[in-house]
Amino acid sequence: MVRGMNPAELDAILQQTLADHKLSGSEKQALSAYVQKFVTTDVHRGTARARAFEIARDAASNDEARRVLTWLEDVVKVLTPVVGGPVPQAGSEAFFSPGEACLGQIVHRFSAARRTVDVCVFTITDDRVTRSLLEAHRRGVAIRLITDNEKAFDLGSDIERITVAGVPVKVDRTPFHMHHKFAIFDEARLLNGSYNWTRGAAESNEENLIDSADPKLLTAFRRHFDQLWDKL
C-alpha cells in the first residue's frame, strides 16, 4: 500500500464484507470511515480498488468468474481513470523515500500498463510491488523480468513466485551484480533510480525514483534491456 494507508485494516474490512457476499450498512460505514481516514489521493484510490479486485479474484470459484472480474476491472479503469495523478503523461517527475511515494508510483505504473512491461531490477521483496506486477500479468500485459542471481533466491525474494506465475524471467549468473533498477511501461514511461523494489527501501532507505517519458532515455534503456535479455 502507498503512504498513509493501513493494508491490514483494509484487507480485514474487505474480507469481512466478502464473507456473505453482501455489503451491509455497518460494513459500508466501516469501509467509508477507512476511506475518509486513509484514502486521500488518486493513487490511494487506485491501490485500494486494485486490492478489492485482487481479493475478489482470489475468492472466485472458477476461471470464467476470474476472467469476468478482470474484464470489469479494466472497464472500471477506463471509465474512471486516475485524475490528477502523481505523474502527467508527458515530462518527468522525481519521487523519494523513506516513505511510500516511490512504491506508490511503481504500483500506479503497473496498474496503468496495458501492453508491455520490461523490468530490470536487482531484487524484488516487496509483496505490494509483486501483487501489482502479477495483477498486470493476469490482465494480459506482456511482462519480462531481469534480475540478479545473488538476490533471486534470498529469503523473502518474490522471484520464484513471479516465475511460477508464468512471467518470463532471466537471471544474471555472472560473478558480478546486475544492479539496475529500471522498468519500461508500454514503451512510453521509464521508471529508474536508486530505489530497490523492497519494503526496506520504502520504510528506511534514502532512495530516489524518476518517472520519465523522455524519448531518448526510453530508447537508450530499451536498447540496453534488449541487449541484456539476449545475453542472459
pTM across the whole model: 0.64
CATH superfamily label, 92-231: Endonuclease Chain A (3.30.870.10)
* Per-residue model confidence as pLDDT tens digits over 95-135: 999 988 999 999 999 998 989 999 999 999 999 999 999 99
Helix (H, G, I), strand (E, B) or coil at 63: helix
Q: Which strand ranges, in their side-by-side order, compose the sheet holding 181-185?
A: 92-97, 207-212, 189-192, 181-185, 116-121, 142-148, 169-172
- Residue 89, pLDDT score: 47
Q: Any idea which residues carry the catalytic annotation?
A: 179, 181, 186
Ramachandran bin of 13, using left for φ above 0, alpha for ψ from -120 to 50, beta for the remaining angles? alpha
pLDDT category at 2 given cuts 50, 70, 90 is very low
Which of 131, 115, 102, 86 has its CA nearest to residue 184? 115
In angstroms, the CA 212 to CA 214 distance is 6
Domain range summary for the chain, segments of one domain joined by + = 7-79, 92-231
Report the chain's mean pLDDT, rounded to a whole number. Answer: 85
Instruction: Tell whether the model's pLDDT for residue 83 goes beyond 50.
Output: no
Instruction: Tell whether the model's pLDDT for residue 84 goes beyond 50.
Output: no
* Per-residue model confidence as pLDDT tens digits over 178-199: 999 999 999 889 999 999 999 8
